[in-house]
């Protein structure tokens, strides 16, 4: 039987076919990012901290990256998705609470009275969240969220909320993990709400999801064990609460952080205040055609002080309209 020699075309073809996927992967690690300042800054940072022998080299164990969720990994307009879930739960649970027909803010929710609902302010919203998020077990709450996510659709795109994620940020998460980073969510969103979809959608497991938490207690009812969610906050994971929770839960200062609003300012400050090379990124919503355009005057995801801090400290500000080829997975050619 003929064996191919060292210079056989067959052997060279075989070697090329084996190496081709690796070459393609290297060329397409961030395919939805235009070759602009943000992509260049990300790639230069990752190369600097992962190349052995580099003066900026960071050991794998210390490659911690943290990401806000709302407005950073998925959309947050026209209202935080968790709040839309809470409003939907009020309507689902209304038959069990006839008093809600006359009691505010629940009456406004049932009647779709946006004016009265807005007038209720934060106190009204907290009543709604408390009624729909607590008084039940963690298992029951997660099942409620999963049921809602399976059928609910975004009011503008009619897409499932789990498809309203940013394709470029999904690529960035994968890119970082491929270079030895451990990726965390650090968000003002409620932790159990995010844990229901974070692993499937982002590849981030539950133990790497940090968020606002309600107080809980262990229950034993005739040998049936559960964790009861109580109607009081244990941690507000927003603003200055983010660095506190990072230190408490992760125990390492991140070397990379991404956010999109003033609620992320302290997390970005904490990250960049550490020794060695650091990266702070802000997703700037500038695309009114494919997504939304908002920053300083927005009631949702306001970006004001953090935008000023980004300019003063040379943080990376991602211009969505200019720097992202695609916004969502459903409007890209990516799998």
Q: Is the pLDDT of residue 287 over 50?
A: yes
List of residues 6+ apart from 142 with CB closer than 8 A: 192, 195, 196
Q: How confident is the model at residue 4 (pLDDT cuts 50, 70, 90)?
A: very low
| Residue 24 forms part of a structural domain | no
In a domain, 91, yes or no: yes
Does 117 share its domain with 192? no
Q: What is the mean pLDDT of residues 46-51?
A: 98
Strands 64-67 and 256-259, bridge-based pairing: parallel
Our count of domains for the chain comes to 2
How large is the average pLDDT for residues 140-152?
A: 98
Beta-bridge partners for 233: 214
**Structure token pair of residue 92:** 């689902």
Say whether both 70 and 184 belong to one domain: yes
What's the confidence (pLDDT) of residue 19? 40
Shared domain for 35 and 175, answered yes or no, is yes
Same domain membership, residue 51 and residue 131: no
pLDDT score at 66: 99
Same domain, 113 and 223: no
Q: CA separation (Å) from 195 to 19, 74, 225?
A: 37, 14, 20
Q: How confident is the model over 175-202, as a mean pLDDT? A: 98
Q: Does the residue 210 lie in any domain?
A: yes
Domain that holds residue 216: 31-78+162-331
Residue 3 in tokens: 């064996």
Angle CA 300–151–321, to nearest 5: 40
Note whether 142 and 198 are same-domain residues: no
Of 246, 217, 175, nearest to 33 by C-alpha is: 175
Give the mean model confidence (pLDDT) for residues 307-315.
Answer: 98
167 with 303, same domain: the answer is: yes
Same domain? For 171 and 92 the reply is: no
CATH at 197: 3.40.50.1000
Average pLDDT, the chain: 92
């Amino acid at each position: 039987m003929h064996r191919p020699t060292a210079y056989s075309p067959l052997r060279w073809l075989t070697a090329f076919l084996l190496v081709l996927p690796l070459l393609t992967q290297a060329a397409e690690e961030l395919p939805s990012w235009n070759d602009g300042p943000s992509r260049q800054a990300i790639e230069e940072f990752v190369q600097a901290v992962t190349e052995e022998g580099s003066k900026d080299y960071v050991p794998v164990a210390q490659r911690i990256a943290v990401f806000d969720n709302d407005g950073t990994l998925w959309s947050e307009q026209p209202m935080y998705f968790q709040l839309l879930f809470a409003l939907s739960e009020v309507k689902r649970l209304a038959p069990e609470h006839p008093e809600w027909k006359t009691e505010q803010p629940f009456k406004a929710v049932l009647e779709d009275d946006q004016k009265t609902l807005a007038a209720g302010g934060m106190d009204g919203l907290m009543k709604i969240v408390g009624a729909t998020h607590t008084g039940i077990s963690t298992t029951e709450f997660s099942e409620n969220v999963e049921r809602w996510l399976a059928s609910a659709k975004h009011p503008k795109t009619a897409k499932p909320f789990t498809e309203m994620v940013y394709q470029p940020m999904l690529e960035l998460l994968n890119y970082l993990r491929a270079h030895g980073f451990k990726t965390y969510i650090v968000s003002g969103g409620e932790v159990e709400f995010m844990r229901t979809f974070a692993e499937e959608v982002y590849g981030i497991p539950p133990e790497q999801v940090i968020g606002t938490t309600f107080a809980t207690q262990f229950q034993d009812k005739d040998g049936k064990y559960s964790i009861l969610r109580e109607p009081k906050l244990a941690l507000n994971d927003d603003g200055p609460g983010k660095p506190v929770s990072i230190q408490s839960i992760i125990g390492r200062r991140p070397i990379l952080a991404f956010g999109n609003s003033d609620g992320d300012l302290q997390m970005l400050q904490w990250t960049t205040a550490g020794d060695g090379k650091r990266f702070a990124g802000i997703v700037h919503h500038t695309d009114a055609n494919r997504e939304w355009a908002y920053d300083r005057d927005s009631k949702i995801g306001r970006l004001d002080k953090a935008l000023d801090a980004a300019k003063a400290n040379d943080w990376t500000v991602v211009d969505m309209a200019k720097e992202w080829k695609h916004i969502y997975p459903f409007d890209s050619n990516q799998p």
